[in-house]
Structure 1
Amino acid sequence: MHMLEADIIIRGRDPKEPVMAHPPDTDSDITLKEWLEAVKAHDKGIKLDFKSLEAVSPSVALLEAVMGETSRPVWVNADILSGPGGQATPLEPQAFLSAIRTLPTHTVLSLGWTTGWTAGTDNPGEETSLPFPTWPLNKCLRTMSLLKLRS
């Protein structure tokens, strides 16, 4: 195992802080700060998977404070487009990219799209591979132009 992933939201109660959880959950028994401190002791890359826009800026600040200058792989991920059957609201692309601008240039930007998959339900296609979605050219070009903001 070379990478560890963290699904991140803002705690739904005080203190409002980034925690390790996946919607529809609104709380967790481990904060992002605790997770980063534990991961720091190991030689693993990390992938921060943001599930809410409000979690991004405080998480970036925690990453910089806890990890400092690091040579380990760091990936940041967010669903910024609505995908096939996507029911969750994607994160606003410009706001997400703006919030991660201070991360080191070696940080990998992993952009995704929402899906219709829902925890605890029968998800059609879950056991079979679904065809790769086709996107209108204007959506592809817009996504590519968003990536240019990072450089």
Structure 2
Amino acid sequence: MFFPSKLAVSWPAPPGLWLLGLHQTALPSQLGQAAQVAVQPPVLEVPKAPPKLPRAPKAPKRLHWAPLPSPEQVWAHSCVSKKKLETALQDPTVTAIEVDVAMGYFTGSGDEVVPVMAHPPILTSDLTFEDFLEELIRDGRRHVKFDFKDLEAVRRCLPLLAQHSGELAANGQAVWLNADVLPGPGLRRWSGGVLNAEEFLRTAEEQCPGAHLSLGWKANPVGSEAYNEADCRAMADLCRHHAKQNVVFAVAARTAAKNFEPLAALLAQVPGSQLLFWTGAWEPPLLQTTLRTLHRQLQQHDVLQRCGFDCKVLEPRHVYSFMTSIITLLADTGNALLRSMFAPRPSC
């Protein structure tokens, strides 16, 4: 009888496991004792789990906003108090409201700094951003431009605005996020009041994607300088870098009337863009001759239909209003200075 010199004996492994080092050999004389042969404990090897796939990037949130309206709006400017807001909402001719937003003090709330409707250097107001937004939505008819004066106000206000974007869109109320992001005529060597453009645009895109943008230059509207090619080229580059279209450029009316050519070139470079001419709260009203000069230049460049006006124009009824606003501004500025002088200083 033929016996193999060696006979391999093995045991099946359970499904999903492999037994390593389990093979034991026995000579023919030892076959009867095979069951008693000592074997090393099996080494169990569990199959490795497949590698995890990288997590897909989080999809940006989708918000709804009312479409960009015609530039031909009737503006209520600088509604930074309850009285001014109430007056604007009661005026049936007003279609859009401009309001300044800054970190400041709510009247009667102590020293807590919150987003309020205020224009520096006056940083005390009886109207918070949240209260203003509530009144605006309750009215349900006027568009709004928020002119942000500091980045902290942008960071604090945009999440709240995003929560109410659906209500504003349902009402047909357009929203502009405005900031001076570049130094301009008369203030090109001065960075005060200019928000960091990259951070403003990034925060707007992260918190309120799709909201309309209104970008401007920090300018001295009563100075002798005009907007130049460098000003407008820097703004066009900024829009191109961030792939922004349908931007409204806020420009000082007096300054624009001195040299409109660079602004016309800017409109040609940014698709769907508009201009909004403004006069400041403390700025004298425009003369009729200045307004006619500006209109003539807009017609020559065939861009009148892309331009809007938030301007005071000199009329007899405006003289008293202007003088009153100047007196109020001086008084409020004095109160703000006194507050800063006698405010308690933090102990070291």
- What TM-score, normalized to structure 2? 0.37
Residue in 1 aligned with 2:180?
79
2:63 equivalent to 1:63: no
Deviation at 1:21, TM superposition (A): 0.5
1:145 maps to 2:240: yes
Deviations 1:66-113 (A, max 9, x none): x241312010100000001124331001110111113142x2111000
| Superposed displacement of residue 142, structure 1 | 2.9
Is 1:114 matched with 2:114? no
Aligned-pair distance for 1:145?
3.0
**Contact preservation (8 Å) 1:78, 1:110:** yes
Question: Could you say which residue in structure 2 is the equivalent of 1:2?
Answer: 95
State the Cα RMSD in Å: 2.6
Q: What's the CA shift for 1:11?
A: 1.2
Gaps of 5+ in 1: 118-122
1:29 to 126, 148, 152: 126
- One-letter amino acid of the counterpart of residue 204, structure 2: I
Give the secondary structure class of the aligned counterpart of 2:100: strand
Distance 1:92 1:73 in 2: 24
Runs of 4+, deviation exceeding 6 Å:
none
More contact order relative to length (CA 8 Å, sep ≥ 6):
1
Q: How far is 1:140 from its partner?
A: 4.0
Deviates most, 82-91 or 16-25: 82-91
> Which residue pairs with 2:137 in the alignment?
40
Instruction: Give the fraction of aligned pairs with identical amino acids, expressed as a percent.
Output: 31
Deviation of 1:141 after TM superposition, in Å, equals: 4.6
Question: Which secondary structure does the structure 2 equivalent of 1:36 belong to?
Answer: helix
Q: Residue 114 of structure 2 aligns with which residue?
A: 17
CA contact (8 A) 1:93 1:146 kept: no
| Alignment coverage as a number of residue pairs | 140
AA of the residue aligned to 1:21: A
Amino acid at match of 2:134: E
Contact kept, 8 Å, 2:149 with 2:193, in 1: the verdict is no
Question: For each residue in 1:106-142, what CA deviation from the matched residue of structure 2 results, as whole angstroms up to 9, or x when unmatched?
Answer: x21110000125xxxxx446xxxx7443326762453
> Residue type of the partner of 1:116?
N
Query: TM-score by structure 1 length?
Result: 0.79
Query: Paired residue for 1:120?
Result: none
Question: What residue is the counterpart of 2:269 in the other structure?
Answer: none
Q: Secondary structure at the match of 1:135?
A: helix
Aligned 8 A contact 1:97 1:149 in 2: no
| Higher CA-based Rg | 2
SS in 2 for 1:62: helix
Matched, 1:100 2:204: yes
Residues 184, 231 of structure 2: 8 Å contact kept: no
- Name structure 2 gaps, 5 residues minimum: 1-93, 246-348
